[in-house]
Homo-oligomer: A and B are copies of this chain.
Amino acid sequence: MDNNISVPTLKRLPYYYNIVCNAISAGDQYISSAEIAKKLDVDDTQVRKDIAAIGYTGKPKVGFEVHEFKKQLENYLGFNEIRNAILVGAGNLGIALSRYEGFEKYGLKLVGLFDNDPAKIGLQIADKKICSMNNLSEILKKYNVEIAIITVPAIYAQNVTDLLVKSGIKAIWSFAPISLNVPDNVYVRTQDLAANFTTFVQMAHRKNVL
């Protein structure tokens, strides 16, 4: 797999995927780089470069064939390989994420939902049961899990992280607004929704709409 694709390009690919899926739903057969560019408010040359980066090519005069383009994106982004993951923290956000069916389309399969609140353990969320953290290593081994989502309160996040790392988790998607300490062989990405909101408001100001 080409590892030279740039991070900005990588971040745009899922949006191309959404657009091509919607185009298919709408019954389109081809889509042009200019159409995609307009929807995402980027340059159309950039769209073509991004698409070229994953090895797909369009047809001059007609554009990009939506079904093939979709397939190439799924292939490049690995949506066909099922990735087992667990989620720790069955609060409102945790429950919202575990109920979101959209993730399956992207290859994410939640195989465990954990919390330490005795009142929550055993509760059924969609097709999943909330488990005690005591069952963690058992489930990680059973499903060969390397990915974890953390939606616990910030004060517990480092403890949970330490436990996950000790249990062999290699990639952590954390919604706690703190910097987590992990060894070099573990990757953490912090999804701080309050920070995202702040950026959104700042950008709105910059566009002079507020």
Binding site for B on A (CB under 8 A): 3, 7, 10-11, 13-15, 17-19, 22, 39-40, 77-79, 83, 91-93, 95-97, 99-100, 102-103, 105-106, 108, 146-147, 170-171, 173, 177-179, 185-187, 189-207, 209-210
Please state if B92 and A192 are interface contacts (CB–CB under 8 Å): no
Pairs A–B under 8 Å by Cβ, sample size 18? A3-B206, A10-B202, A11-B199, A17-B195, A18-B178, A77-B198, A77-B202, A78-B201, A92-B95, A92-B99, A92-B100, A93-B97, A93-B100, A95-B96, A102-B194, A147-B201, A170-B210, A189-B203
Q: List 12 additional A-B contacts (Cβ < 8 Å) besides A15-B195, A106-B194, A173-B197.
A: A11-B195, A11-B199, A18-B177, A22-B179, A77-B198, A93-B100, A97-B193, A100-B193, A105-B194, A108-B197, A146-B210, A170-B204
A196 touches B191 (CB 8 A): yes
Inter-chain CA distance A203–B173, complex, in Å, is 11
Is B96 within 8 A of A92, CB to CB?
yes
Report the minimal beta-carbon distance from A148 to chain B, rounded to whole angstroms: 11
Within the complex, the shortest CB–CB distance from A95 to chain B, in Å, comes to: 6
Do B3 and A198 have beta carbons less than 8 Å apart?
no
Asked if residues B91 and A178 are in contact (CB atoms below 8 Å), the reply is no
B207 touching A103, Cβ below 8 Å: no
Nearest to A83 among chain B residues (CB) is B201
Given contacts A10-B199, A78-B201, is CB(A170)–CB(B19) below 8 Å? Answer: no
CA gap between A18 and B14 in the complex, in Å = 28
Complex interface: chain B residues within 8 A of A147 (CB)? 201, 204, 210
In the bound complex, CA of A100 to CA of B193 (Å): 10
Bound CA span A40–B190, Å: 10
Contacts A92-B96, A96-B93 given: A197-B106 contact, CB under 8 Å?
A: yes
Q: A95-B92, A96-B93, A194-B106 are in contact. Are A185 and B199 (CB under 8 A)?
A: no
A179 touches B210 (CB 8 A): no
Give the Cβ gap from A49 to chain B, nearest Cβ, in Å.
Answer: 18
